[in-house]
Chains A and B, each alone.
Chain A
Amino acid sequence: MKKTLLAAGIAAMMMGATPVMAKTLVYCSEGSPEGFDPSLYTAGTTFDASSKTIYNRLVQFKPGTTEVEPAIAESWDVSDDGLEVTFHLRDDVKFQTTDFFTPSRPLNADDVIWTFERQMDENNPYYKLANGSFEYFNAMSMGDLIESIDKVDDHTVKFVLTEPNAPFVANLAMDFASIHSKEYEQQLLDEGKPELANQQPIGTGPFQFVNYREDAAIRYQANPDYFRGKQPIDNLVFAITSDAQVRYQKLMAGECQVMPFPNPSDVQAMQQNADINVLEEAGLNVAYLAYNTQMAPFDKPEVRKALNMAINKQAIIDAVFQGAGQVAKNPIPPSMWGYNDAIQDDPYDPEKAEQMLKDAGVENLKMNIWAMPVQRPYMPNARRTAELMQSDLSKVGVDAQIVTYEWGEYLKRSSDVDRDGAVILGWTGDNGDPDNFLGVLLGCDGVGGANRSQWCYQPFDELIQKARTLDSQEERAKLYEQAQEIFKEQAPWDTLAHSTVFMPLRKEVTGYKIDPLGGHSFEGVDIE
């Protein structure tokens, strides 16, 4: 006890905090951040360490949901033609004061405009510094979407769009749209060291950066000026621990209080441990098997449907996901708005499948099944999944071969329009909008790219295009529900699974909410 007191005292002195019993939460993070400027990167590990802790965005996802709610902007309105989105900013948002920066003014419209300019204006010094490599901003086509950003007054910013786009506001809740301080970055530019913005970040978020020891630990302290009030914990430490087994040991030993990404096989033991709570939630993801709908015989919906009926998905959930998932019947996860629960999945019925194949004139079918070489949040073991499929298909007279490539190569080759075989792949949502699944993965624009089934079906695509332009979520949801009916009828994929996310934490931790979008945030978390 004496030792702990002493240690806490030392910690308090080091962190510059006054209370002797400073509350410190240690999070065993899974890897090192690539940097601290979230606009430059696409990895969740980097976002956890930067945007989720240090920064805020104009709008945010309500913790634990994919619903968009106000953050730096207290409200926003969309013009009737859908081309103008105006944000009204709070006037009490301050940037963090640290030993490397003291802000002279609160956040205003200039900071918001600067944040986007640096990612799209070729003349912005930060754009030049990064060679324009703002991959997430680009991947979400933000540059094409934003015509201009206008300052109406100090606390009002208007985005003018090139076309009406309903998911746009949700995009602004994404990590790359974290608001930077123009004053700080100007100051760095004046000092001739703009690259420091990526090493000594300044934001408006709940925690402020203290220091980072590469590959070892990141320290934060609660931001005393946070606009939602100071956090209940005083210090936050990310102890970088890349091995899941070691994270588990650290959690048991009390060296950290929260850990992400447990080994699926350890979850049961964790649930039985009296010191550990295991939170779980359905992830915002889907795993699928995409046929190439441009290649015979997979160009016939009845053939695709027959194959879907030959595959026992529940067996895959049991054996590969070890129960940590549910069978998917739609291409979007059930927690997402617009999910059509009335859809009936094609039942597992090998006899009927065999008959359907015969009726379609398909005999002695040989096909490839692509199994990805890596574990992903939506798919713990693609190889094993492919083997189960192979054995299911052999029962209906289909001879399936399993193929695989190195991950980068897999992603590239599976996009080819003339690709041979069906591909196992999946997706984790970016912004909680159905368009982010249905439009990106199944729209005509995605053929030869993210649309692995190379499926361009006009009735479906028209619905998706139309939904994108509407502002009312209710009306959009109706269109997406119809789109899911068409999807099921046409069956470009076999929808396999939605995985479950587990988050083990020690019993003394309260207030932690699993982020369905896959991030890890400690806002509002306390230790008892």
Chain B
Amino acid sequence: MFKFFLIKLAQLVPTFIGVTIVAFAFIRLLPGDPILLMAGERGISAERYAQLESQMGFDRSLVVQYLDFLKGLLHGDLGNSLVTHAPVMDEFMSRFPATLELSLFALAFAVIIGLPAGVLAAVKRGKTLDHTIMGVSLTGYSMPIFWWGLLLIMLFSSTLGWTPVSGRISYMYFIEPVTGFMTIDSLIAGDWGAFLSALHYLILPSIVLGTIPLAVIARQTRSSMLEVLGEDYVRTARAKGLSNFRVIMVHTLRNALISVVTVIGLQVGLLLAGAILTETIFSWPGIGKWMIDAISRRDYPSVQGGLVLIAFIVMIVNLLVDLAYGVINPRIRH
């Protein structure tokens, strides 16, 4: 198992280097110049421009800039934001827990609803229930996030008044960040009202962000359940006279889970991408919103640093998923 882990880890190194190149090049390939954007209609004199350019280090060759970026990266230093002048690492870390919290709640929502829905659809294959579940999940999968979010806000927040429109917690609470998870920090602070408020604010964005993964998980669960249900050992289990429940939950589901876990792992990348839109709609103070601001201001260090960190996280999650297979299905280890 340890060797398996090491091999997987070693495979990540070239990927990671590739990511740094892409991240570095991406923001520079976009037309736009951070200094000119900052100056706006007011403009900037040529000498002042040159001065700022050299301060920011953009007058050096791209290769030197890239190597500098890589060197900093190895020391855990991603440079400072051109806008706030704060270290990119700090800026990222102070916002990442918000995104992670939202993603975990969205994923939990997707799994809790998607998995049973998929199992149910497989068991009731071809029946009305199956068609309904698959129809709804196809709709969910095709839903444009921005539109879906606004629709839910209009219905549940503006019209019915059940949920808040946007934000992370009521402005009445200010919880000192410890873990950065609002739900956990409010409990640490012993503030029950803040905890409930944080949950309240999580409902809509979790649903919106979880919708697409939910659809994917439901469909994947259904198809891999159907595949396993056709296997000989399931027939054997039934022949032994095991209860239907036992056959489905133990013999079928456990084996069907392998591909479902893969899909769930792949959702993490999608969740982080979806978080960018969801955070914009719900004014959620996470890295998605931060990245959008950084891109529009051509804040090179923030964008390249943010991309590398996000890619790193996705890679680690995928590594964990690979390891999880090993646990679920020992055959994969070799």
Interface residues on A, range: 35 or more
Picked from A217, A406, A409, A426, the residue with its CB within 8 Å of the CB of B41 is: A426
**23 CB-based A-B contacts, threshold 8 Å:** A31-B293, A195-B85, A211-B174, A213-B174, A215-B283, A215-B286, A215-B290, A216-B167, A219-B174, A237-B171, A240-B285, A241-B167, A241-B283, A249-B150, A249-B154, A253-B158, A376-B41, A406-B31, A408-B34, A409-B31, A409-B36, A415-B43, A427-B41
> In the complex the two chains form, is A412's CB within 8 Å of B36's CB?
yes
A225 close to chain B: CB less than 8 A: no
In the bound complex, residues from chain B placing their C-beta under 8 Å from that of A32 are 293
A215, B154: Cβ atoms closer than 8 Å? no
Contact pick for A26, options B83, B154, B171, CB 8 Å = B171
Given contact pairs A14-B172, A219-B171, A253-B161, A246 touches B41 in the complex (Cβ within 8 A): no
Q: Are B281 and A243 in contact (CB under 8 A)?
A: yes
Asked whether A450 and B167 contact (CB < 8 A) given A239-B283, A241-B283, the answer is no
Nearest-CB residue, chain B, relative to A140: B42
Q: Which residue of A lies closest to B170 (CB)?
A: A7
Is residue B26 contacting chain A, with contact meaning CB distance below 8 A? no
The 4 lowest CB-CB distance pairs between A and B, nearest first, are A408-B36, A215-B285, A406-B31, A216-B285
Question: Any chain B CB within 8 A of the CB of A457?
Answer: no
Given the complex, which residues of B lie within 8 Å of A245, measured CB to CB?
150
Q: Spell out A's residues near B (CB within 8 Å).
A: 6-8, 10-11, 14, 24, 26, 31-32, 34-35, 42, 131-133, 135, 138-139, 195, 198, 211, 213-217, 219, 237, 239-243, 245-246, 249-250, 252-253, 255, 376, 405-409, 411-412, 415, 425-428, 449-450
Given contacts A409-B36, A450-B41, contact A133 B52 (CB under 8 A): yes
Check B55 for interface membership: any CB of A closer than 8 A: yes
How far is B290's CA from A245's CA once the two chains are assembled, in angstroms?
19
Q: Return the contact of A408 from the options B32, B154, B174 (Cβ within 8 A).
A: B32
Q: Chain A residues near B262 (CB, 8 Å)?
A: none
B37 at the interface (CB under 8 A from A): yes
Which residues on the A side are within 8 Å of B38 (C-beta)?
42, 135
The interface residues of chain A lying within 8 Å CB-to-CB of B39 are 42, 135, 139, 411
Residues of A within 8 A of B289 (CB): 215, 242
Query: A405, B31: Cβ atoms under 8 Å?
Result: yes
Q: Are B164 and A255 in contact (CB under 8 A)?
A: yes
A142 to B133, CA, bound (A): 67
B40 adjacent to A246 (CB under 8 Å):
no
Assembly CA distance A408 to B38 (angstroms): 8
B195 to chain A, nearest CB (A): 13
Q: A34-B83, A249-B165 are in contact. Are A14 and B174 (CB under 8 A)?
A: yes
* Per-residue contact bits, chain B 252-294, to A (CB 8 Å; 1 contact, 0 not): 0000000000000000000000000000111101100110010
Residue of B with least CB distance to A451: B43
Chain B residues, CB < 8 A from A214: 91, 94-95, 285, 290
Partner of B37, one of A6, A14, A408, A449: A408
Q: How far is the CB of A284 from chain B (nearest CB, A)?
A: 14
Q: What chain B residues lie within 8 Å of A34 (beta carbons)?
A: 83-84
Within 8 A of A (CB), among B35-56: 35-45, 48, 51-52, 55
Asked whether B157 is an interface residue with its Cβ less than 8 Å from the other chain, the reply is: yes
B84 with A412: CB separation less than 8 A: no
Asked if B298 is at the interface of the complex by the 8 Å CB criterion, the answer is yes
Docked complex: B64-120 residues within 8 A CB-CB of A: 83-85, 91, 94-95
Contact assessment for A131 and B41 in the assembled complex, using a CB-CB cutoff below 8 Å = no
- Check if B193 is an interface residue, CB within 8 A of chain A: yes
B153: CB under 8 A from chain A?
Answer: yes
Contact A217 B167, beta carbon cutoff 8 Å = yes
- Asked if residues B43 and A450 are in contact (CB atoms below 8 Å), the reply is yes
Closest-by-CB residue of A relative to B298 is: A408
B227 within 8 A of A: no
Partner of A450, one of B42, B161, B174, B283: B42
| Bound Cα distance A198, B172 (Å) | 24
B130: min CB distance to chain A, Å: 37
A253 near B33 with CB under 8 A, answer no
Q: Collect the chain A residues with CB atoms within 8 Å of residue B172's CB.
A: 7-8, 10-11, 14
